[in-house]
Amino acid sequence: MAPVGLSNPASKHGKEATLRELVGLIRSILTDPACYWYLAGLLAIGELILGGLIIRFVPYTEIDYKAYMEQVGGFLGGERDYSKLEGGTGPLVYPALHLYIYTLLSHLPSHPQALLASLFPPEIHPHLLPQLIFLALYLGQFLLTALVYKKARMPQYALIPLTLSKRAHSIYMLRLFGDPWAVGLVWASIWLFQKSRWNLGTLVFSLALGVKMNILLYIPGLLVLYWKALGPLGMISNAVKIGLVQILLPLPFFLRSHPRQYLTSAFDFSRSFLYKWTVNWRFVPESTFLSREFHVGLMAVQLVVLAGFGWRWCRSEHGGAIGVLRRGLSRRKGNTVGRSIEGREIVAIMFTSNLIGMVFARSLHYQFQSWYFHQIPLLLALTAYPLPIKAVLFAMTEYGWSLYPSSDISSATLIAAHIMVLLGIWINDAEGRAPSLPPSLSQSRAPAITEIKGKKER
């Protein structure tokens, strides 16, 4: 027995060993690829619990859901002129699959089953089942993100920031917007592209476009991927498939009788946005925001930036962008350009294409955060900024989306963060390299969970 007042060296050594194992376990859970789904699963369970608590204790906010149901009512009542499908917030301005999804939701019972009714107060029962469906959609989006990140060689700790956004949770579970349906489908298509399932991925991408027009922001990047993976004929055939799906979706109900009304309503490129709802251009005077010159200028700059990134996306190929074009045009069969595309390159191109569209969008509304929120950690990983700068940029985007109503400072902060991320991607590598771990996580290899278990057994 050690004398009183003196520490036991064996005991101290044992505590240090236990602490080292605990630190190693934490490192392993955060960074070891073998532990990827441990952390992803824990985060998903946490999101499930948090989502249930949000639905239970945070009041539902009516914004567009009632209007969606009113538009559905017109459709179910026999109206086939798309321009006449209206709700409390105005006419229906989304493609047909959006209408079909909310038509299905309209058939949900207004009162939940006894078990659910006992867990939630009566005042939230009218929207409880739709909210639970959107909770499932939110969890599905999280798991899709985990799948895509893993194929892109992202460390699992990059999933943690995705659980921290107040706005993202409210868009899904408290607002019931249509944007998450399109977002989920486009993520599913990207995962399929990563698995080289180009035909099926194109079909799912087409369905995403059939929900919301913002999916067009991915088209420039997708065309580059088609050209590189499938050649010119493959690119053209898949582009035609996307167009055909947009015709087939509304064909049974709208295109046969009122095709012009459908196309001008569902794909209205001239639609104007209200200044009071803008999140990204609040610091611009209203007269400038509403001017045609401002809109045309944004579009022109967007095209220039897309052209620049298009060159960067091809620069690592033999002969650069010109070489990619020549090889594609010289192939008659057009089924391959000479190499497969890695999962990380696919998301780098697709996510950057989407971000460029958002940077130069005429207006972003609060629900539009869902368009790219789950992409932000990967976009930041494509830059060479130090980890603290990446954290600040993430916080800047969250601040820009969280402040209501938006202010000159919040919108300028959001625009600055977007431009910083885009510049960081351009400067580092437009096609994206695997992100290096922070020094504290990469200096020494973290022992895997199986190794720790083995030590304890011995």
- Please report the DSSP string for 301-347 in residue order: HHHHHHHHHHHHHHTTSTTHHHHHHHHHHH-SS-S-SSS---HHHHH
Mean of the pLDDT values across residues 17-43?
91
Q: What is the DSSP letter of 369?
A: G
Mean pLDDT of 178-191: 99
Is residue 177 pLDDT above 90, yes or no? yes
Place 436 in a pLDDT band, splitting at 50, 70 and 90. very low
Pick 324 or 255 by higher pLDDT.
Answer: 255
Q: Kindly state the average pLDDT of the residues 274-278.
A: 91
High-pLDDT (> 70) share of the chain, % = 85
The pLDDT of residue 116 is: 76
Is a pLDDT exceeding 50 seen at residue 163?
yes
- In this predicted structure, the answer to whether residue 196 has a pLDDT above a threshold of 90 is yes
The pLDDT score that the predictor gives to residue 453 is 46
Please say if the pLDDT value at position 286 is more than 70: yes
Burial 44-53, CB ≥16 within 10 A → b, else e: beebeeebbe
Do residues 352 and 265 touch, judged by C-beta distance below 8 A?
Answer: no
Q: Alpha-carbon dihedral of residues 125, 129, 134, 139, nearest 10 degrees?
A: 110
Contact 363, 281 (CB under 8 A): yes
**Residue 425, number of CB atoms within 10 A of its CB:** 25
- Strand (E) positions, 60-184? 86-87, 90-91
- Which value, in Å, is the radius of gyration of the alpha carbons in the chain? 25
Amino acid at 70: E
Q: Model's pTM, two decimal places?
A: 0.89
Whether residue 176 has pLDDT greater than 50: yes
Q: Could you tell me which residue, 391 or 458, shows the higher pLDDT?
A: 391
pLDDT at 6 over 60: no
Does pLDDT of 452 surpass 60? no
